[in-house]
Structure 1
Amino acid sequence: MLSQIQAKLLIVDDLPENLLALDALIRQADHAVFQARSADEALSLLLQHEFALAILDVQMPGMNGFELAELMRSTEKTKHIPIVFVSAAGREMNYAFHGYESGAVDFLQKPLDPLAVKSKVNVFVDLYRQRKVLKEQLEALERSRQEQEILVRRLQVAQAELEHAVRMRDDFMSIVSHEVRTPLNGLILETQLRKLHLAKSNADAFTLEKMKAMVSRDERQIQSLIRLIDDMLDVSRIRTGKLSIQPSRVDLGQLVGSAVERFIPQVQAAGTQIRFSCEQALVGEWDEFRLEQVVANLLTNALRYGGKSPIEVGVCEHEGLGRLDVRDFGVGISKDDQKRIFGQFERVSSRPGVAGLGLGLYISEQIVSAHGGRIEVQSAPGEGALFSVLLPLARNL
């Protein structure tokens, strides 16, 4: 592996014959030798290439070898290149010391010993290759570390999502069990009461008027169960992308007006009233059944959180869109809650007596989005809430 790394060597001397001799001495198949006849040429090559070793002649016109070495040591790109000085001067110690002070790692005297030169060059080339391999290994380790950090972060996100999903599942099961039990308990109590009357042959308990009341109560409980089941089925359809939209020509005002009329018994039972207004006919290509579902969800929430305050429902055209407004004057919704109420199993209040799976707004938003529209909410704590559904009047579905 080390031999596959090409090493570049720089030799600097102002005499061509010295360059040729040194080149012939150190050149090998896995070495690339670059020649420079001046410090300026050497600097140009140093900026273009990465060298394993620089062999500098000390005595050159202009910038000498010591000055070139000091310049190399002061430059980030070249400061780590090993420098070997070559000189024909005497072996005075102060001359060698000057070379080492300039940043040299070795000093060669002319005439050169071929074996010593080759040996030293090979040592520095091997060191260069080992540094390259070590650098690549360190870079690979760093990449691996970064990848592991990314993986750990992803695992942490996945763990948080899983924990959230588990909490949602537990909350959902708790809500479902409570919501299903409520109508079932009503049906069970009604059944037990009737069995008791039958056991006592109490015919007065089954007069026509009382039978009508019994059927009405049963119907309400059964409708509650059906609604819960339908909501859970719709969530499943949304998750699998199978929520079907079957558009037809629909007048939004008539659709909402009919839905409001069907809600009047519930409104009266809640001890409040509902006011409906429609300025004009607004016809579009919409799924009538699904939009009725949206209206029912919004009216149910208005009854649930309105605190027996009047409910205002309006249909109008707004900036080229069909607009449905449902306003209550109840507890209101804080800014933080407004960000989450369109999520699954999210409810404005978890206080006792507030029923529901927390799916109505989630399903409604998905239905409206499937029509190319949107739902907006304006509210503040204690000031009630205004939900607005905006639908395109003409849409190719």
Structure 2
Amino acid sequence: MLPEMEPAKLLIVDDLPENLLALDALIRSEDIEVFKAGSGEDALELLLRHEFALAILDVQMPGMDGFQLAEMMRGAERTRHIPIVFVSAAGRELNYAFKGYESGAVDFLYKPLDPMAVRSKVNVFVELYRQRKTLRLQLSALERSRHEQEVLLGELRQTQVELQHAVRMRDDFMSMVSHELKTPLNTLILEVQLRRLYLDRGNLGAFEPDRLRGMVEKDERQVRALIRLIDDMLDVSRIRTGKLSIRPDLIDLAALANKVADNFEAQMAQAGYVVRREISGPVMGYWDEFRIEQVVANLLTNAMRYGRQKPVTIRVKPGDASVLLQVEDQGIGISESDQARIFSQFERVGSPDKVAGLGLGLFIAKQIVRAHGGNITVRSCLGEGSLFCVELPLQQAVAMPENGRALHSRLA
């Protein structure tokens, strides 16, 4: 919808005040606003401040006459399109009309003026001005609409790309989940079927204590793998909805890192890895023990998947205001382009068919570290291994409420 038109502005220029008043009274109306100038200089000042639909200029004026003013108007970009009507009391024999048209006038009037002719000509030029202005506004509105449509089309295309990517991610995710869940489940099913076969055949020797202990340990590993997959999926859901809970408490990060390394030692040894520790402690701070344990476990799991059975090192290095937790492997390494995406959901280095996991471990680790006010980075080159660095701010207790849980604030 176009805005309502303001009154059209008309400029009349004459060195005689009585002529200005008479012409003003003749052409003024509700939809016309008249501006009067007693000289060419005054007219130029008004032309710089207003947009006029028509300029009516007296030819004979002291100083700058009407012709000179018209030439200056035609020489300026701002005023060259304003229609000019000349008014003169001189006789037709002076050929002023010809000179006026040469100066760019659209009409020439002789005094005494015919009121009806003047009003008619003014109305024509005002109507033409309004039509031009309406057309400009319409063109401007069309241009804005075209730009908005282009922006909207771009957003729709981007949304389409994102939706297609989301559909691919969903399909890939469902495929990965199916594959990852089947592996431990198939192992459990085969173990159960084998034991039932032993029982049906009365082969109770298969359940001697040592062999039974091995069966149970194998079952526990598969169950833990299933629980880990389910926990990862639940954590992603919590992160998306902003419900990932962080419950800081005073813990020793060095002891926690040693505990996680202990838990992984047998599994990594079985996979051909040696875990080296460079941990000095204690390193006390306020963190969520369960969540930081997840971070360390995810980094060690990642090292075990890509470490090419070479030694893996875990470090805890305390500083003045923060502590550095590092896990370093000597495996396949990560290209610079892949380093930008490995902390995203469902992203894995290498062929998805050859690498276990859902591609959620590093994503979850990053969200946990960020929730603690920390940062996680990676330094790596292809074929030279990877160094994952977690920096966590040290925090100290400032009060001890009745329930015994320490309130805390970050050190500056």
> Shorter-chain-normalised TM-score: which range?
over 0.9
Counterpart code for 1:153 = G
Is 1:39 the counterpart of 2:67? The answer is: no
Say if 1:11 and 1:257 are closer, same or farther in 2 by CA, change over 3 A: same
Q: 1:9 matched to which residue of 2?
A: 10
CA contact (8 A) 2:366 2:375 kept: yes
| Residues 288-341 of structure 1 deviation map (CA, whole Å, 9 limit, x = unaligned) | 111111111000011110000001111111353111111100001111111111
Q: Once structures 1 and 2 are overlaid, which stretch shifts more, 218-227 or 196-205?
A: 196-205
Is 1:62 the counterpart of 2:63? The answer is: yes
Count of aligned positions: 397
Alpha-carbon distance, 1:143 to partner: 2.1
Counterpart code for 2:201 = K
CA contact (8 A) 1:2 1:130 kept: no
Q: Once structures 1 and 2 are overlaid, which stretch shifts more, 283-292 or 139-148?
A: 139-148
Unaligned runs of 5+ in 1: none
Counterpart code for 1:108 = L
Counterpart code for 1:240 = T
Alpha-carbon distance, 1:238 to partner: 0.8
Query: Take 2:282 and 2:237, find their aligned partners in 1: how far apart are those partners?
Result: 34
Alpha-carbon distance, 1:30 to partner: 2.5
| Residues 225-277 of structure 1 deviation map (CA, whole Å, 9 limit, x = unaligned) | 00000000000111111111111110110010011011111111111211112
Say if 1:13 and 1:161 are closer, same or farther in 2 by CA, change over 3 A: same
CA RMSD of aligned residues (A): 1.8
Q: Once structures 1 and 2 are overlaid, which stretch shifts more, 133-142 or 277-286?
A: 133-142
Identity percentage over the alignment?
A: 64
Say if 1:2 and 1:168 are closer, same or farther in 2 by CA, change over 3 A: closer
Alignment of 1:381-392 (within 5 A): 381-392=382-393
Is 1:247 the counterpart of 2:243? The answer is: no
Counterpart code for 1:375 = I
Query: Take 1:170 and 1:147, find their aligned partners in 2: how far apart are those partners?
Result: 34
Is 1:29 the counterpart of 2:30? The answer is: yes
Say if 1:3 and 1:223 are closer, same or farther in 2 by CA, change over 3 A: closer
Say if 1:2 and 1:246 are closer, same or farther in 2 by CA, change over 3 A: closer
CA contact (8 A) 2:255 2:281 kept: no
| Residues 52-91 of structure 1 deviation map (CA, whole Å, 9 limit, x = unaligned) | 1101111222222111111101112111111001122333
Alpha-carbon distance, 1:21 to partner: 2.2
CA contact (8 A) 2:24 2:34 kept: yes
Alpha-carbon distance, 1:283 to partner: 0.1
CA contact (8 A) 1:8 1:33 kept: yes
Query: Take 1:132 and 1:388, find their aligned partners in 2: how far apart are those partners?
Result: 64
Counterpart code for 2:9 = K
Q: 1:109 matched to which residue of 2?
A: 110
SS in 2 for 1:160: helix
SS in 2 for 1:309: coil
Q: 2:232 matched to which residue of 1?
A: 231
SS in 2 for 1:266: helix
Q: 1:130 matched to which residue of 2?
A: 131
CA contact (8 A) 1:2 1:129 kept: no
Say if 1:27 and 1:383 are closer, same or farther in 2 by CA, change over 3 A: same
Q: Once structures 1 and 2 are overlaid, which stretch shifts more, 329-338 or 31-40?
A: 31-40
Counterpart code for 1:100 = Y
Query: Take 2:22 and 2:352, find their aligned partners in 1: how far apart are those partners?
Result: 95
| Residues 140-174 of structure 1 deviation map (CA, whole Å, 9 limit, x = unaligned) | 22222222222222222222221221111111111
Query: Take 1:272 and 1:93, find their aligned partners in 2: how far apart are those partners?
Result: 111
SS in 2 for 1:324: strand
- TM-score, with structure 1 as normaliser: 0.95
Alignment of 1:79-118 (within 5 A): 79-92=80-93, 95-118=96-119
Query: Take 2:247 and 2:290, find their aligned partners in 1: how far apart are those partners?
Result: 9
Query: Take 1:25 and 1:211, find their aligned partners in 2: how far apart are those partners?
Result: 115
Alpha-carbon distance, 1:389 to partner: 1.1
Alpha-carbon distance, 1:138 to partner: 2.1
Alpha-carbon distance, 1:202 to partner: 2.5
Say if 1:378 and 1:319 are closer, same or farther in 2 by CA, change over 3 A: farther
Q: 2:356 matched to which residue of 1?
A: 355
Alignment of 1:1-397 (within 5 A): 5-92=6-93, 95-394=96-395, 396=408
Query: Take 1:63 and 1:351, find their aligned partners in 2: how far apart are those partners?
Result: 85
CA contact (8 A) 1:5 1:129 kept: no
CA contact (8 A) 1:3 1:30 kept: no
